[in-house]
Structure 1
Amino acid sequence: MRKIEIAALPGDGVGVEVTEAAKDVLHTLARAHGGVEFSFTDFPWSCDYYSKHGEMMPKDAISTLSQFEAIFLGAVGNPAIVPDHISLWGMLIKIRREFELSVNVRPAKKVKGITSPLANPKDFDLIVIRENSEGEYSEVGGRIHRGEHEMAIQNAVFTRRATEKVIRYAFQLAEKRNNRLVSATKSNGIVHSMPFWDEVTKSVAAEYPHVHTQSTHIDALAAFFVSKPAEFDVVVASNLFGDILTDIGSAIMGSIGIAPSANLNLEGRYPSMFEPVHGSAPDIAGKGIANPIGQIWTAKMMLDHFGFEELGQVLMDSMEEVTEAGIKTPDIGGTANTRAVTEAVKEKILETARV
């Protein structure tokens, strides 16, 4: 029996509700199929915590979290009490940087029972691998002067180590899937960082000659995600480009509320972090109608990370059986509440164990 110690950070708004729902589902899965046990330790770090303590997390938070095997995050943010840049950089970004979570993985697929806004989405099933630690989101830069002479400088930072790491991971994933990879670039307009990105991609591609590789400019690639998503399998992108593409991926699935993600430390030195893409949705918090699918799918990614792919597939299949049966929250066209969806997923899991 493998026992996995997980730090749960429910965060703000609906994050608390969907995290509890996904934990419930994971415990049911473990009891029904065995082989693994989940031990969650909850931490109340959030915007509410900030309002009481003047910080998103205590000073020893990183040291505390480092003792766990994974971090299971709900959602962070409540601009009514804490500005977004404070909540984001004080918690989420801090964890990503301190734990070197340099690879972000975000799948997008046609989920059974959920209507895509696309007229003919076909059965697209793609994964975007996003560099998660530097690129266009570096902290290097500053502002000088005020008034009409004011100037802001934001430097994009691309190191060979981080760029090569994320691109190599994408190629390794492509090998496990369909041997197809697209690299997002903009080397015709961004004259230093993107040619560098392309050069590293070409260098790594030489090690994977059986993987069909192409580079596509980000503007065209964004359009293709809408017009022909089924043509893509693995896509690798810089921090900003990956951020944009994954939000498009969420949109064409039908709702950002169902999109999962994983922030990985590939070396295993620190815990990886798993979080849904959606925000804290303070407008519906406490109403019991938050969509738990994104958090449940995120749990599936956590299972895969720990080598429990078969259990992860049971969870994914159970989730899709529920959405295909029409048991859905209002954001994706249903009338069910959070608890009803959660209980339905649990029942499907139990059915698989009884077969």
Structure 2
Amino acid sequence: MIHHIAVIPGDGIGKEVVSEGVKCLNALSEIFESMRFEFQSFPWGSDYFLQHGMMMPENGLEILKGFDAIYLGAVGDPRIPDDVTLHGLLLPIKFGFDLYVGLRPVFLFSGVECPLARISEGEIDIVVIRENTEGEYSNVGGIVGIEDRELAIQSGLFTRKGIERIITFTFDYAKEKGRKKVTSITKSNAQRYGMVLWDKIFKEVSARYPEIRTESKLIDAACMDVVRNPKGYDVIVASNLFADILSDLTASVTGGMG
């Protein structure tokens, strides 16, 4: 079977990393006869923006629909505001294809120096699962007023459907992979609506998986605890913003993101 993959190297180190990743996939196809890849590369990103005034063509999503997967590198360039690059390429792809799961494994490999004391190879083995299409990155809000009277409102969007499906995916993943514990991260003591709904649905869904231990933590406490006791975490599920933060943090305690 041939898998058709759209390759978007993007910006900066993304071009280098994606190039090496394609080499790895080609090497796999030589080992496994059933695994074949066909790549088509697209020059979309910041350089494209500087030439055309957009991060990808207006029909970019329509073009990508014909592929089995999208291999996307890094996005960002100091010449362009970050919100422009993010909302011009990465977020339209996430929202346009409803890519609601961000799966981010974190593992301390042999030969990689851990910045934490008394942590050995393999002792950090965490999977951060991120809700990818709702929450704090929903782009709900706006700026009103003029000059020194400007007011910005930034709202998070949390739906039962969105929360339930990411939490259900998390428990199904944990069960399939033989993981023993799922930790939900919120800030429901301060954010009384979306996060409270998240906590409620987490309890409902977790009741269907009695064999998996659960715990709930607040994001500020979790950030401290992940550094102090990374071995205490197995699978983490969190909203768009919180999982974004935690995936970077957990990657850092295993030596960095690459």
TM-score range, shorter chain: over 0.9
* Structure 2: gaps (5+ residues): none
Deviation string, structure 1 residues 45-92 (Cα, Å, up to 9, x no partner): 111111111111111110110100000011122122x22211111001
Shift of residue 121, structure 1, vs aligned partner: 2.7
Shift of residue 104, structure 1, vs aligned partner: 0.6
Shift of residue 194, structure 1, vs aligned partner: 1.3
In 2, are the aligned partners of 1:12 and 1:78 still within 8 Å (CA)? yes
Q: Corresponding residue for 2:256?
A: 255
Q: Corresponding residue for 1:97?
A: 95
Task: Give the 3-state SS of the residue equivalent to 1:188 in structure 2.
Answer: coil
In 2, are the aligned partners of 1:121 and 1:229 still within 8 Å (CA)? no
Q: Corresponding residue for 1:265?
A: none
Q: Corresponding residue for 1:127?
A: 127
Note if 1:168 corresponds to 2:140.
no
Q: Corresponding residue for 2:32?
A: 33
Larger strand proportion, structure 1 or 2?
2
Shift of residue 14, structure 1, vs aligned partner: 2.0
Q: Corresponding residue for 1:311?
A: none
Name the CA distance, whole Å, in 1 between partners of 2:86 and 2:17. Answer: 19
Name the CA distance, whole Å, in 2 between partners of 1:148 and 1:124. Answer: 48
Name the CA distance, whole Å, in 2 between partners of 1:195 and 1:34. Answer: 49
Shift of residue 148, structure 1, vs aligned partner: 4.0
Q: Corresponding residue for 1:86?
A: 84
Note if 1:67 corresponds to 2:66.
yes
AA aligned to 2:228 is S
Name the CA distance, whole Å, in 1 between partners of 2:183 and 2:247. Answer: 14
Query: TM-score, normalised on structure 1?
Result: 0.70
AA aligned to 1:180 is K
Task: Give the 3-state SS of the residue equivalent to 2:77 in structure 1.
Answer: coil
Structure with more relative contact order (C-alpha pairs < 8 Å, separation 6 or more): 1
Task: Give the 3-state SS of the residue equivalent to 2:179 in structure 1.
Answer: coil
Name the CA distance, whole Å, in 1 between partners of 2:67 and 2:95. Answer: 17
In 2, are the aligned partners of 1:11 and 1:75 still within 8 Å (CA)? yes
Q: Corresponding residue for 1:333?
A: none
Name the CA distance, whole Å, in 1 between partners of 2:42 and 2:135. Answer: 30
In 2, are the aligned partners of 1:173 and 1:234 still within 8 Å (CA)? no
In 1, are the aligned partners of 2:28 and 2:35 still within 8 Å (CA)? no
Deviation string, structure 1 residues 144-169 (Cα, Å, up to 9, x no partner): 22344321111111001111010001
Q: Corresponding residue for 1:159?
A: 159
Name the CA distance, whole Å, in 2 between partners of 1:26 and 1:139. Answer: 35
Q: Corresponding residue for 1:214?
A: 215
Q: Corresponding residue for 1:297?
A: none
Shift of residue 20, structure 1, vs aligned partner: 1.3
In 1, are the aligned partners of 2:181 and 2:213 still within 8 Å (CA)? yes
Name the CA distance, whole Å, in 2 between partners of 1:148 and 1:51. Answer: 31
Percent of residue pairs identical: 42
In 1, are the aligned partners of 2:124 and 2:254 still within 8 Å (CA)? no
Shift of residue 179, structure 1, vs aligned partner: 2.6
Task: Give the 3-state SS of the residue equivalent to 2:195 in structure 1.
Answer: helix
Note if 1:118 corresponds to 2:116.
yes
Alignment of 1:200-239 (within 5 A): 200-239=201-240
Deviation string, structure 1 residues 168-217 (Cα, Å, up to 9, x no partner): 01111111222311100222121111111100001111111111111111
Name the CA distance, whole Å, in 1 between partners of 2:32 and 2:143. Answer: 56
Name the CA distance, whole Å, in 1 between partners of 2:7 and 2:243. Answer: 26
Name the CA distance, whole Å, in 1 between partners of 2:191 and 2:201. Answer: 16
In 2, are the aligned partners of 1:121 and 1:228 still within 8 Å (CA)? no
Deviation string, structure 1 residues 251-271 (Cα, Å, up to 9, x no partner): 1111122xxxxxxxxxxxxxx
